[in-house]
Amino acid sequence: MPDKNSVVRVGIIGPGGAGRGNTLAFATRDDVEIVAAVDNNERSLDALEKGLRERVESYKQNSFKYYVGEYEFIEMLNKEAPDIVGVFSPHSLHDIHVKYALRAGCHVLVEKPMANVVGDAIAITKIAMANDLHLVGGYQRHYENIYIAARQAIAAGLIGDLQRFEVFLAQRWGGGGWRGDPRFSGGGQPNDSGRHLQDILLWMTGLLPKEVHGTTDMKFEDEAGNVVPKSVEINSYSDVTMDNGATGTITIVGNTLIGFEEWVILEGDEGTLKIKGDIQFIPEGGEAQPLEFQRPEGYPHNKVDQIVGLVKGEYDANYTSGINGIRTSWLTNSILQAGKGPDERNLVNCDTVLEQEGYNRQFVLDFIAEGALRKMY
């Protein structure tokens, strides 16, 4: 295990697109060395090399080893033995890549979704916990002040018991590249950007889904208003009931011209939190006011800082642990399953979704409790 004075060796699986940005976030740290990267496409590795030369002042040209091919990640793990593996491959490959990395004794940072399916998310987290390895998910909102503030306010009882919620995300999302191929994406916008909003709702409130009544569609229009056929979900509209009885809507829109917009509104019996750019508290019967907030001392700055700090012993709490991957996969699977039903809108029992994977609600509750003892949040 590296100590606080060590340089952490990092290997990358899938450094294209967002993966390149994540890799650069590792490489700009003085205590990290990128030792190897693997991708099916050598041009992706060339682009990473170029980015490292341009963005990292201390980078020495051609200092990381190329591995090219569909299964070369196994060779990279065996030959390079990195301390941390960053898994930034297409969604449907996260499961196998994370399992191989954990079984090779590596700590893992994995982009969202941690796994497409809730059963796989549970299995991955169990492997990490059994081997005392750190598993960090790619949910960056856990490190943003407004969401940290909301989570703390809810836990302190500021809004009382949550009764209603509204979650909304709109993004010009047409399922380009592998994201539009169900073999690699595992689902469209609800399984991609939509995961972030589903995750943050569950993380802030600590609730679990009970029922989803909703629909999805594959409707996407080009700039001229022509409908473009798509093979994955572009939009989802879901009425959701949580395990405490709270009800609300989760709307994930990809067919929009407005750009990117998101908000979360949480209504309790003693007040409301409104998160849209900033965070406001509206006491029951009162006027909106900014929510005063002090970032906790020693809280990680971002997901890369989280995984490096855990590995070096600088942090002892994991704020984007595998628990989040489990909760969010459970909700996302239920939303997608509702859209695949025979009717225009379908009712999905979330317990049934979990039981199809061989688990039950009590298992998840017990697993979350065990995670909390390990400071996995």
| Superfamily (CATH) of domain 142-300+316-358 | Dihydrodipicolinate Reductase; domain 2 (3.30.360.10)
- Give the three-state DSSP class for 124: helix
Q: Where are the alpha helices (DSSP H) in 133-234?
A: 145-155, 182-185, 193-205
CB atoms within 10 A of CB 168: 16
Taking each helix axis from N to C terminus, what angle separates 94-103 and 72-80, rounded to the nearest 10 degrees? Answer: 20
Q: Where are the alpha helices (DSSP H) in the chain?
A: 18-27, 42-55, 72-80, 94-103, 118-130, 145-155, 182-185, 193-205, 303-312, 322-339, 350-355, 361-373
* Tokens 């010009």 found at: 172
| CA separation, residue 325 to residues 136, 199, 214, 377 (Å) | 9, 8, 22, 11
Confidence of residue 176 (pLDDT cuts 50, 70, 90): very high
Q: Where are the alpha helices (DSSP H) in 156-301?
A: 182-185, 193-205
Residue length, the chain? 377
| CA separation, residue 197 to residues 39, 129, 182, 220, 265 (Å) | 29, 26, 21, 21, 12
pLDDT given at position 294: 87
**Strand 247-253's sheet: what is its strand order?**
289-290, 278-283, 271-276, 261-268, 162-170, 247-253, 235-242, 209-217, 346-349
Q: What is the pTM of this model?
A: 0.96
Is residue 95 predicted with pLDDT exceeding 80?
yes
DSSP secondary structure code for residue 76 in this structure: H
Question: What is the tens place of the pLDDT at every residue in 235-284?
Answer: 999 999 999 999 999 999 999 998 899 999 999 999 999 999 999 999 99
At residue 83's C-alpha, the angle toward residues 80 and 88, to 5°, is: 85
Where are the domain boundaries for CATH 3.30.360.10 in the chain?
142-300+316-358
Report how far Cα 252 is from the mean position of its chain's Cα atoms.
15
| Superfamily (CATH) of domain 8-140 | NAD(P)-binding Rossmann-like Domain (3.40.50.720)
CB atoms within 10 A of CB 58: 8
Is residue 1 predicted with pLDDT exceeding 80?
no
pLDDT given at position 3: 79
pLDDT given at position 2: 84
Mean of pLDDT values over 292-299? 91
Where are the domain boundaries for CATH 3.40.50.720 in the chain?
8-140
| CA separation, residue 67 to residues 83, 102, 368 (Å) | 17, 19, 37
Confidence of residue 5 (pLDDT cuts 50, 70, 90): confident
pLDDT given at position 292: 83
CA distance linking residue 332 with residue 121, whole number of Å: 12
pLDDT given at position 258: 85
At residue 201's C-alpha, the angle toward residues 264 and 250, to 5°, is: 65
Is residue 25 predicted with pLDDT exceeding 90?
yes
pLDDT given at position 72: 98
Is residue 68 predicted with pLDDT exceeding 90?
yes
CB 40 within 8 A of CB 69: yes
Mean of pLDDT values over 82-111? 98
Mean of pLDDT values over 62-71? 96
| Cβ contacts of 342 within 8 Å, gap of 6 or more | none
DSSP secondary structure code for residue 295 in this structure: P
CA atoms within 13 A on the CB side of 142: 28
* Tokens 């689902």 found at: 187
